[in-house]
Amino acid sequence: MSSPFVIGLTGSIGMGKTTTARMFEDAGVPVWDADVAVHRLYAPGGLAVTPLRAIRPDIVRNDGVDRTALKAWMAEDPTALERIESVVHPLVAEDRAGFLARCRSDIAVVDVPLLFETGAAGSVDAVVVVSAPEDLQRRRVLRRGTMDPATFEAILAKQMPDAEKRKRADYVIETRSLEAARAQVHSVLTDIREKMTHA
């Protein structure tokens, strides 16, 4: 079978990307998740453990990368993030390539939070941006109880603004309600399949 049509799914924090990814899965489309891939790489025996241990031995505990130690290193060393990414990004790309090579579906989704920021948008066939009004986004994130407003603002500052993402998207899915989002997922898939038929 020829390689699948690849949708790059992205969106800022609190926009409903995880829920939307599940809707694609519910519609029978396989989804690869960049965050899950990173967790796999950091887990005991994961492919990132040995190369990261070589750079900074104290971030590895119980044969896995300790995320708390990783954050502490990044907080104290301005070069840490770049060094981590130089190890992790190629491994993540390899993981994604493996998923797509094994994929037996006509369409596949790669869920990449920083699709634009990391320059990965050029490697997909269409970009779907998940979006919601700013006040709803903030409410969702702070309701989780896992971060304070200052941390939320700091994360937002590192991400491309939602308006810019929407401008660059092939499709935008609004996640004000689950029903509306689900309908938009189906309409995106219908549109892509129609285009594939006429390609």
Tens digit of each residue's pLDDT (9 = 90 or more) over 166-195: 999 999 999 999 999 999 999 999 999 999
**Together in a domain, 18 and 112:** yes
Alpha helices in the chain (DSSP H): 17-26, 34-42, 49-55, 67-76, 80-102, 134-143, 149-158, 162-168, 178-198
CA distance 144 to 177: 18
**111 to 12, 21, 157: CA distances (angstroms):** 12, 7, 21
pLDDT at 1: 52
Same domain, 54 and 148: no
48 Cβ contact list (under 8 Å, min separation 6): 38, 41, 42, 65, 87, 88, 91
Residues 25 and 111 in one domain: yes
Q: Average pLDDT in the 147-158 region?
A: 87
**How far, in Å, CA of 168 to CA of 89, rounded?**
23
Task: Tell me which of 48, 78, 102 is where a domain ends.
Answer: 102
pLDDT digits (tens, 9 = 90+) for 95-116: 999 999 999 999 999 999 889 9
Question: What per-residue confidence (pLDDT) applies to 178?
Answer: 94
Provide the pLDDT for residue 10.
Answer: 96
Domain boundary, last residue among 87, 102, 117: 102
62 with 125, same domain: the answer is no
Number of domains in the chain: 2
Query: Is the same domain home to 132 and 199?
Result: yes
Quick one: 134 and 148 in the same domain?
A: yes
**Do 108 and 30 touch, CB atoms closer than 8 A?**
yes
Least confident of 31-45, 57-71, 122-136, 148-162: 148-162
* Structural domain boundaries, residue 120: 1-30+107-199
Q: 198 and 171, same structural domain?
A: yes
Q: Same domain for 90 and 57?
A: yes
Asked if 17 and 112 touch (Cβ cutoff 8 Å), the reply is no
What does the mean pLDDT of the chain come to? 93
pTM summary value: 0.89
Mean per-residue pLDDT for 27-37? 96
Residue 6 has pLDDT above 80, yes or no: yes
Determine contact, residues 51/129, Cβ cutoff 8 Å: no
Q: How confident is the model at residue 154 (pLDDT cuts 50, 70, 90)?
A: confident
Which pLDDT belongs to residue 147? 85
Cα 34 from Cα 112, distance rounded (Å): 5
Give the model confidence (pLDDT) of 50-66 as tens digits. 999 999 999 999 999 99
